[in-house]
Amino acid sequence: MPRIIVLPHADLCPEGAVLDDVATGTTVCEALLAHDIEIEHACEMSCACTTCHVIVREGFNSLPPSDDLEDDMLDKAWGLEAQSRLSCQAIVTSEDLVVEIPRYTINHAREHH
pLDDT digits (tens, 9 = 90+) for 11-34: 999 999 999 999 999 999 999 999
pLDDT of res. 104: 76
User: Can you give the pTM of this predicted structure?
Assistant: 0.92
pLDDT of res. 106: 65
In order of start, what are the domains of the chain with their CATH numbers? 4-111 (3.10.20.30)
Residue 57 vs residues 6, 7, 39, 45, 81: alpha-carbon distances, Å: 10, 9, 17, 21, 10
Residue 93 pLDDT class (50, 70, 90 cuts): very high
- Which residue, among 23, 73, 82, has the nearest Cα to 52 in the 3D structure? 73
With beta carbons less than 8 A apart as the criterion, state whether 68 and 107 touch: no
pLDDT digits (tens, 9 = 90+) for 59-87: 999 999 999 999 999 999 989 999 999 99
